[in-house]
Amino acid sequence: MAMDDVAPLRTDPDGTIVYLEVDGYRPRDEGVLTATNRGLIYLGEVRIEIPWSTITHLHTTGQDFSVQGGKRRTATKFGFNGGGWDESFSIIDWCWKRFTG
């Protein structure tokens, strides 16, 4: 997939553009992982919102990936449930690069 071809899934009423919405997980927590024009959102037991502007590094290790940045010293880890994790991570990486200016 060419990264110029990433099309939004939808635009929410508040103007948020959603590019990816997949089943995901964090350690001991299942949820939904969403990549938007504003940042990465994880909705599981708790809601985690990470604006693209605070992310300094993305790292993938197969089906799992980590986000480094903000005030946290340790990376926030996520994973993808099901197939298509390589394409999902590519979309997240594309969003991060596009929306951090």
Give me the domains of the chain, ranges plus CATH numbers: 3-99 (2.30.29.30)
Q: Where are the beta strands (DSSP E) in the chain?
A: 10-11, 17-26, 29-36, 39-43, 47-51, 55-61, 64-69, 76-80
The whole-model pTM stands at 0.89
Residue-wise pLDDT tens for the chain (101 aa)?
445 679 999 999 999 999 999 999 998 999 999 999 999 999 999 999 999 999 999 999 878 899 998 676 788 899 998 888 899 999 999 999 999 86
Strands 47-51 and 39-43, sheet pairing: antiparallel
Q: Where on the phi/psi map is residue 82: left (φ > 0), alpha (ψ -120 to 50), or beta?
A: left
Tell me how far apart the alpha carbons of residues 101 and 93 are, in angstroms, rounded to a whole number.
Answer: 13
